[in-house]
Amino acid sequence: MTRDEALAKLATSAFRRRFHLSPSLRRYVREKGVDAVRSHAADFIAQRLAPAHPANDGRQTPMKGHPVFVAQHATATCCRSCMNKWWKVPTGTPLSESQQKKTVALIMAWIECEMSAAANEDEGSGVQRPNASDGHDGRKSAAPGTTTNPDGTSAGHLAERSPQNTLT
Ligand SMILES: [Zn+2]
């Protein structure tokens, strides 16, 4: 699967589509630079996802605080069970070098999409929260009335198991 195909697949999930970089996280990416963020992503994947049995698997990725964390939830690379479900990565075995590289590449592709999609919004915007309800990428309209805030969900991959609960 190419990166574009992976991003297109993610865009079919109302749950994954809810994640966006907040203005402050976009500012972080601009100030640190994409290369620094990529190296953070490589570290997070190596430390939190790559072991055969990662510590706290399923809860090791915060919902906010770093652009890579948000990107991991958006790209279903937040824990080994999401990686297994979405990308057929086997559990119980360490991630290979190439699996780690692909994971980082997907995360960075998502971040770069977010940065360019949001480039206009950042002009004079003081809003500090991601807009979780409008599905601005417009591939499929988001469920009307969906108000769940990704920042308030502690275990996103659990919420995804019953997507019908988010529909009105
Ligand atoms: Zn997960």
Between CA 141 and CA 136 the distance in angstroms is 8
Q: What percent of the chain has pLDDT over 90?
A: 68
92 part of a folded domain = yes
Question: What's the 73 CA to ligand 1 centre distance in angstroms?
Answer: 7
| Residue 114: pLDDT band with limits 50, 70, 90 | very high
> So what's the pLDDT on residue 145?
46
The alpha carbon of 49 and the centre of ligand 1 are apart by a number of angstroms equal to 10
Residue 136 is assigned to a structural domain of this protein? no
In DSSP notation, 68-98 reads HHHHHHHTT-SSHHHHHHHH-PPSSSPPPHH
Torsion over CA: 142, 148, 153, 155 (sign): negative
Taking residues 118-129, what's their average pLDDT? 60
Quickly tell me which residue has 């009307």 as its tokens.
144
87 Cα–ligand 1 center, Å: 12
- Mean pLDDT confidence for 106-129: 78
Residue 113 in tokens: 């999409």
> Distance between CA atoms of 45 and 77, rounded to whole angstroms?
9
| Any domain includes 161 | no
Instruction: Give me the mean pLDDT over the 118-127 stretch.
Output: 62
Is there a domain that residue 40 lies in? Answer: yes
> Cα(125) to centroid of ligand 1, in Å?
31
Mean of the per-residue pLDDT values for the chain? 83
Give distance in angstroms: CA of 71 to centre of ligand 1. Answer: 12
Expressed as residue numbers, the domain containing 25 is: 3-127
Q: Band of the pLDDT at 71, cuts 50, 70, 90?
A: very high
Q: How far is the CA of 37 from the centre of ligand 1 (A)?
A: 20
> In this predicted model, which residue has the larger pLDDT, 124 or 61?
61
Residue 39 in domain: yes
141 pLDDT higher than 70: no
DSSP state of 107: H
* Amino acid (1-letter code) at residue 139: R
CA of residue 127 to ligand 1 center, whole Å? 27
pLDDT score of 136 more than 90: no
CA of 33 to the centre of ligand 1 (A): 26
Q: Is the CB of residue 48 less than 8 Å from the CB of residue 61?
A: yes
Domain count, the chain: 1
Is residue 137 in some structural domain? Answer: no
Cα of 157 to ligand 1 centre, how many Å? 4
**What does the alpha-carbon distance between residue 27 and residue 49 come to, in Å, rounded to a whole number?**
26
CA of 78 to the centre of ligand 1 (A): 4
Rounded to the nearest whole angstrom, what is the distance from the C-alpha of residue 59 to the centroid of ligand 1? 7
> Would residue 159 count as lying in a domain?
no
Q: Which of 143, 163, 130 is nearest to 63 (CA)?
A: 130
Q: How confident is the model at residue 132 (pLDDT cuts 50, 70, 90)?
A: very low
CA distance 8 to 50: 25
CA of 126 to the centre of ligand 1 (A): 30
Dist. CA 158–CA 58, nearest whole Å = 9
